[in-house]
Amino acid sequence: MYNVLFVVLFVCVAYSFKQPFPYLEKPYIIAHRGSRVLAPEATIMAFETALSLGAHVLEFDVRITSDNVLVVFHDELLDRTTDASGSVRSRSYDQLQLMDAAHKFTPINNPGLFPHRGSGIKIPSLSQVLQHFWGAKPSTITSDRKAVNFNIEIKDKDPLAVTKLIEEFEKYRTSDWVKAGFKVDNHILVCSKYGSVMDELGKKSTIPTCASETDCMKILIPSLILTSYPVLTPIHHMFSREEPRFCAYSIPSRFSKLDFSNIDFMRTMRSQTDRNDLQIHYWVVNDSEGIQNLIEIGADAIITDRTDVAVKVFKRMNVYKEVQLEDWARSMKGIADKVRSDQLTYGDDVQDLVSIHLCNSPVCYVIENFQLLLVGVIVMSFVCFYQLCYCCYYPIGNTINKIKKD
């Protein structure tokens, strides 16, 4: 009886610590919004382009529409990339289909030109993307190993977005797909900056997840402090050890004056948990030097707008593994072919699309100013301690004085 319970417990624990994308050898390349500077971001065209260049994983964001359809779109507003304005949430899916998803796209090597404007590129739904790359029927899957991988971020805090996401994936858990050998959890990693969203997903599904913003904060700030003051490490480990519920951290390579892409920080960060299978993914790195540095310090994945640059660096360092895809997926033609010749003319090092990549998240500002905040906390602690002592001593002193007088 006890043996059976032990086996069940072991299986549950092992499953909860499941690795994302088990068929991929680390490090691997994650195409940010489908290598968004090479094709209109977060579109079928961008995803096909990224796969044709050699990306191992397609990264994109999902938002929910007014009629509760999950669509692939990054911004809260439509203005930056389309010919429309307003929020995604205020429009129905049918209304979004009237918009040009490539209207504002201009190649980085030819700014000012809009080569795909008016060519019929639409905002896809999550359902369309999954069907396009996994196939409409189980018969399209001949090997679970060859299915396309997705890293998906839920942008909405609404629990309904979690429910709709799970519903989409449940379509691929039916008996026909299982009989075909397809295991959906092997090909998805879901992220959100909201801890409540990740908790909701964890309760309802076995889908592998990334750390939320709060979870990242719990490990980034101590790692920065311990990297600067390693003498505090034994004390920190004595009182705090992270036991993550997720399987990967997704962190920036740098933010303002803070550099997260050095070997000391990497070692310190990994030492914060007893789990040696936890992956660290860096975003968004587009220059060859930065990509090479991250590979050298042991990053598990590189999230990049420049799949073409990343593949070159990976091959130069002999760490690139060819992407295995189904024959029908590998031979995908269509609109991706239109940009292939242009890709050859792009420069090798275009790192800083800073205006677009700057993180406005509160966690980044807290991390950037953590030393100032640390000093503030220490000062406030002393002030509070002084006030506490004063408040406690004053009544006691008065009592003692009265006793002496009596």
397 Cβ contact list (under 8 Å, min separation 6): none
- Tell me the β-bridge partners of 129: none
φ and ψ of 335, to 5 deg: -65, -20
Number of H helices, E strands in the chain: 17, 10
Give me the pLDDT at residue 362, please. Answer: 54
**Over the chain (406 residues), what is each successive 10-residue block's mean pLDDT?**
42 54 95 92 94 95 98 96 96 97 89 91 97 88 90 96 96 92 95 92 92 82 73 59 76 81 84 78 93 95 95 97 81 50 43 43 54 60 66 59 56
Neighbours of 179 (CB within 10 A): 9
Q: How far apart (Å, rounded) are the C-alpha atoms in residues 21 and 279?
A: 11
Is 282 within 8 Å of 301 (Cβ atoms)? Answer: yes
Rounded to two decimals, what is the model's pTM?
0.81
Residues 50 and 42: their CA atoms lie apart, in Å, by 11
pLDDT of residue 376: 61
Strand partners, 254: 259
Measured CA to CA, the distance from residue 312 to residue 366 in angstroms comes to 35
Helix intervals (H) in 25-148: 44-53, 93-96, 126-134
Is 149 in contact with 21 (CB distance < 8 Å)?
Answer: yes
**pLDDT of amino acid 223:** 77
- Take residue 306 and report the two structure tokens written for it: 């420049």
Q: Compute CA 349 distance to the chain's CA centroid, rounded to the nearest angstrom.
A: 23
Is the distance from CB of 274 to CB of 16 less than 8 angstroms? no
Q: Mention every residue, 6+ apart, whose C-beta is less than 8 A from residue 186.
A: 21, 22, 23, 144, 147
Structure tokens at 36: 């968004």
CA–CA gap between residue 31 and residue 45 (Å, rounded): 13
Structure tokens at 338: 């239109």
pLDDT at 139: 82
Q: How far is CA 11 from the centre of its chain?
A: 27
If you search the block for the tokens 């579109």, which residue do you land on?
A: 43
Question: What CA–CA distances, in Å, run from 67 to 75, 145, 177, 341, 372?
Answer: 18, 35, 28, 39, 45
End-to-end CA distance of the chain: 73
Measured CA to CA, the distance from residue 298 to residue 294 in angstroms comes to: 6
Residue-by-residue DSSP string for 152-221: EEE----HHHHHHHHHHHHTTSSHHHHHTT--GGGGEEEE-S-HHHHHHHHHH----BB--HHHHHHHHH
HSE at residue 324, side-chain half, CA atoms within 13 A, is 13
Beta-bridged to residue 242, according to DSSP, are 273
* pLDDT at res. 246: 87
